[in-house]
Amino acid sequence: MKKWICIICGYIYDEAVGMPDHGIAAGTRFESLPDDWTCPECGSPKESFEPYVG
Amino acid sequence: MNTSTATEGRVEIDGRIFNPYSKDFIRSPWATWEKMVLEYPVAWHKDLNMWVVSSHDACAEMLKNNVFTPNYKAWEHAPPEKPEAEKNDFERSLDHGLFATRTQDHLRLRKLAMPAFSKPVMGKIDAKIRDLVTGVFDEIGEPEQFDAFSMIAEKLPVRAIARMVGVPTNKEAFFQEFAVSVIKSTRINLPAKERQAAMQTSLTGFAYFRDLIAQRRAAAHPGDDFVGSLISASEGDDRLGDYDIMAMIQAVIVAGSDTATDLHTYAIQGLLSNPEQYRLLRQRPELMENAIIELLRVGAFGKMPQYRFASEDAEFRGQHIRKGQSILLNLTAAWVDPQKWERPRQLDITRRLDGNLVFGAGAHFCIGTYLVRVQGGLMISELMKRFPNAELVNGNGDVEYDYNHHNARRINRLLVKSNARQHVHPAQERIIHDATVETNH
């Protein structure tokens, strides 16, 4: 399971946690998120995310 | 008629519809904002000589449209560009700033700088500024009443940011002057002479930070604080230059000092005006981050929040915006847009805030967002701990405004009745909490 960071706002998407409040189950890979998915914090597109090691 | 449809079909308004400088507006902007949002979501303001975009949807669309840049130099009335050799530190930092760079350079800067601004790093700032927060409350003591503006809001943000960027606390006044002068230097609602004077004032601050960066670069290790993180930031062989870093420091100061002053007063005003929400937050501190965003949304303290400039001629929601024209992004109106939010003026710290524009949206989303949340969260936690039964004096804190503030509906007096010696029995607090939860559902 990896983490991804939005380089615009710093929001971290943790695959292990998902986003249950938004209907994205724990364990959902970043690659499996819809292409039109946007950062829940700043609305930036999926391309704004990069793998995060922290 | 206050509005006319110009020959080219332009929707126009004037100061009779929206006057951000009027005392009535500063005290109570709600009716004006509702009218703007519902009747004039995009309009040319004949007196301000700029476009005003007010509804939630229109603001969100413009924030994500790169044709509308925050780069002040794209403004038709911007000072002429100087030759590189004649530029001072302010102008060079502006060139390297997040608002001025082109899309690719902007992404590069965000990518390099993000580790220094990310939530985990900002979480560590918590430990670094916690003593400042407790210190501010120690200075208040346990009086019958105190002024939240002068005792908290005016002191805390500048001390916190100074600590974060490595300015000694005895230089607070210098730092405050730098912060305000940086902001005023590009405020297009100010006269050109005032902008120029502010820019000159800012130069001593830029010199200070240029020296600080040089010292850190010369050291064996640049340090693991905010400035050190920026110096160390790298992507392959790419690193941030001195002016990139100075521009970032400037961005943090803008986000975290003068603006955060209003965060504190309006957060206290919002919570103490809604005692059931104050109680709920004490019961459920996990709501803190949501509460801060909601307090900012409802407080809506911006007078003329943000600007954009058309980088080319553009059609926007049926209006023709000419290259170089300025646009007031009336975000505070958008935050209380009834088309987006149910009961928009009601504070509800449990509200789902998906899609909110409190920190903007898109490429220029506020880079200091987590810093603001950390600082606000620490202050509110301490307020709840020290003064769990606080109230506003006479119900409104005998509130006063600085009607001449350059940017905000600045509250410069908010009297809080501490009720420091009152204690609510835990069982009673529980009953109140249960009743609140029931009411909200």
The pLDDT tens digits for B291-328 are 999 999 999 998 887 899 999 999 999 999 999 999 99
Mean of per-residue pLDDT scores for chain B: 88
CB-CB under 8 Å, B117 with A10: yes
Name which of B110, B292, B352, B372 to mutate to probe chain A: the one with the most chain A Cβ atoms within 10 A of its Cβ: B110
CATH number at residue A7: 2.20.28.10
Size of interface A-B (CB pairs under 8 A): 48
CB-CB under 8 Å, A42 with B359: yes
Q: Contact, B355 vs A42, CB < 8 A?
A: no
Confidence of residue B186 (pLDDT cuts 50, 70, 90): confident
In the sheet that holds A3-6, the strands lie side by side as A12-14, A3-6, A49-52
Please give the domain boundaries of chain B with CATH numbers for all domains. 4-440 (1.10.630.10)
Residue count of chain A, please give it.
54
Q: Is A5 part of the contact surface with chain B (CB cutoff 8 Å)? A: yes
Confidence of residue B189 (pLDDT cuts 50, 70, 90): confident
Look at chain A and report how many structural domains it folds into: 1
Q: With a CB-CB cutoff of 8 Å, which residues 119-178 of chain B face chain A?
A: 119-120, 122
pLDDT at B441: 42
Q: Is A19 part of the contact surface with chain B (CB cutoff 8 Å)? A: no
Contacts of A9 in chain B (CB under 8 A): 359, 365-367, 369
Show the domain range for A14: 1-28+43-54
Q: Is the pLDDT of residue A6 over 80?
A: yes
Check if the interface score ipTM surpasses 0.95.
Answer: no
Q: With a CB-CB cutoff of 8 Å, which residues 57-96 of chain B face chain A?
A: 60, 64
pLDDT at B3: 45
Residue A36 lies in a domain: no
**Total Cβ atoms within 10 A of residue B14:** 16
Q: Greater confidence, B185 or B103?
A: B185
Residue A38 lies in a domain: no
E strand or H helix at A5, and its extent? strand A3-6
Residue B332, phi then psi, degrees to nearest 5: -65, -30
Q: Is B354 part of the contact surface with chain A (CB cutoff 8 Å)? A: yes
Residue A33 lies in a domain: no
Alpha carbon of B143: minimum distance to chain A alpha carbons (Å): 40
CB-CB under 8 Å, B117 with A43: no
Q: Is the pTM of this model over 0.80?
A: yes
Q: Greater confidence, B409 or B426?
A: B409
CB-CB under 8 Å, A10 with B359: no
Contacts of B64 in chain A (CB under 8 A): 43
Alpha carbon of A49: minimum distance to chain B alpha carbons (Å): 10
Whole-number percent of chain B with pLDDT over 90: 59
CB-CB under 8 Å, A42 with B362: yes
Q: Which range is least confidently modeled, A29-33, A45-49, B56-60, B363-367? A: B363-367
Query: For B254-288, what is each residue's pLDDT tens digit?
Result: 767 777 899 999 999 999 999 999 999 999 999 99
Q: Is B117 part of the contact surface with chain A (CB cutoff 8 Å)? A: yes
Cα separation, B408 vs B401, in Å, equals 10
| Cβ-nearest to A7 among B107, B369, B370 | B107
Residue A53 lies in a domain: yes
Closest CA to B280 of B131, B110, B430: B430
Closest CA to B247 of B401, B93, B435, B73: B93
Orientation of helix B369-386 relative to helix B156-165, angle to 10°: 130
- Contacts for B241-245: CB closer than 8 Å, 24+ residues apart: B241/B96, B242/B210, B242/B213, B242/B214, B243/B89, B243/B92, B243/B93, B243/B95, B243/B96, B244/B96, B244/B109, B244/B112, B244/B113, B245/B209, B245/B213
pLDDT at B128: 81
